[in-house]
Amino acid sequence: MPTQTVMLVKQIPEYLGSELAKRVYYVTPGIEGFQLISEGGRVVGVEVTTSTAVNGDELSRKLDVIITKDVLPQEQLETEIIWKSPHAAQGDDGVFAKLADADIVAEMGEGLYAVGGLFGKVMFGLDRRLHELAVQEFDADSFHYPTLISTETLRRAGYMSAFPQFLMTASRFHSDVDTYDSFTSGIAASEDIGKHIEEHSEHIGYCLPPAVCYHVYEHLSGSSLDKKSIAVTTRGKTFRFEARYRRSLERLWEFTMREVVFFGDRNSVVEQRRRMVSAVCDLVDELGLAGRVEVANDPFFLNEQVADYVQVQRVMELKYELCLPVEAGRSVAAGSFNVHGDRFGSVFGISDADGGTAHTACVGFGLERFAYAVFCQHGADPGAWPDALKALVSSHGNGAAGEPDVEKGRPRR
């Protein structure tokens, strides 16, 4: 595979190197690997390996677009930790290989894994605890939503303009007998089945959901709350195109999320988030896990206001992440706790009990990541697990993917 060195038009400080590294695989198709080149405390170039030859001038131009819009405007920010587990990080760096060898984790494609057996029991045992927390402590209504979500909903929510790099869409074949005939007759001879599909298909107005909370905003669109605050919880599949940033169970293209969404006035949703952070920290401590909750920001992409967005999120502490150690000294964000102000209430026409625009907050957990952190820290032998973890698996029963009981009915609004 060809490798070339691209010298940056605009050099960046080394402390911004990680921000550039988060975006390189989205610069152009076919990038298989890269390495930042530093000199004198600055990143001066990128060594890029591609699957096919790529024009160096075009690669330089696209890197410059990313650097100008997303990287250079950002400031060096210290990570603020708001909670740290009393448990020390420990674990086995070979745990993923052990899970794969035991066939309770199986790769199904890029960023796609099947899970079952003991891993599934831990994963959905965690989900049951989180669901019970939402229902019992926050009086949340539970709903199952369709997998597909309206493209218009994501546009209204601002997702498409903020995170286009992650979006995965749904398509269908043109409703025409000639289309079907041309497609089926050309399958055998097609060297690129994906391109063959694209030539005969069109977007259907739906996307694969990048988070399940967007279904909740659409569900309550145009409504008025009939009490000071309400909560809705749901579990569903989530899809994000992570390109070659995918890594084992740490970063997937498709994963499972449990989310809790709060609606109310400003003070009530901020308080609900505070209570949820506290409750989840208690759960992490109970399970004997090392971890921390820190102030974070979203990975905004190709937006000249990215520095302002990041600064606001961090200074106002709009986003917290639950970070749990996994293999090789890495950590994963297994959960996030976000407050949005009245943005979604305004966009979706949701009113609070006093007739004002509702404020919202959402809390989400990546169940595969959460369970993987458990195995990385406590190992794959349940006999050596702490009692609380054994009880969590035992309370789940024998099913690997059982669904928590669902409270039927519409959210109280």
Q: What pLDDT does residue 308 have?
A: 66
Closest CA to 259 of 163, 366, 371: 366
Q: What pLDDT does residue 375 have?
A: 97
User: Which regions in the chain score pLDDT beneath 50?
Assistant: 398-403, 405-409
So what's the architecture of 81-163+210-396 in CATH?
2-Layer Sandwich (3.30)
The three-state secondary structure class of 193 is: helix
Which residues lie below 8 Å from residue 310, measured CB to CB, with a gap of 6+? 74, 77, 297, 300
Q: What pLDDT does residue 79 have?
A: 85
Q: What pLDDT does residue 395 have?
A: 74
Q: What pLDDT does residue 402 have?
A: 47
The three-state secondary structure class of 251 is: strand
Q: What pLDDT does residue 146 have?
A: 98
The three-state secondary structure class of 21 is: helix
Which CATH fold would you assign to the domain 3-71?
Answer: Alpha-Beta Plaits (3.30.70)
Q: What pLDDT does residue 371 have?
A: 98
Delimit the CATH 3.30.930.10 region(s) of the chain.
Answer: 81-163+210-396
Delimit the CATH 3.30.70 region(s) of the chain.
Answer: 3-71
Closest CA to 148 of 109, 205, 194, 198: 205
Closest CA to 281 of 67, 81, 35: 81
- Under a CB-based contact definition with an 8 Å cutoff, are residues 271 and 263 in contact? no
Residue range 318-346, pLDDT digits in tens: 899 999 999 988 999 999 999 999 999 99
Which residues lie below 8 Å from residue 16, measured CB to CB, with a gap of 6+? 43, 71, 72, 74, 76
Residue range 226-257, pLDDT digits in tens: 999 999 999 999 999 999 999 999 999 999 99
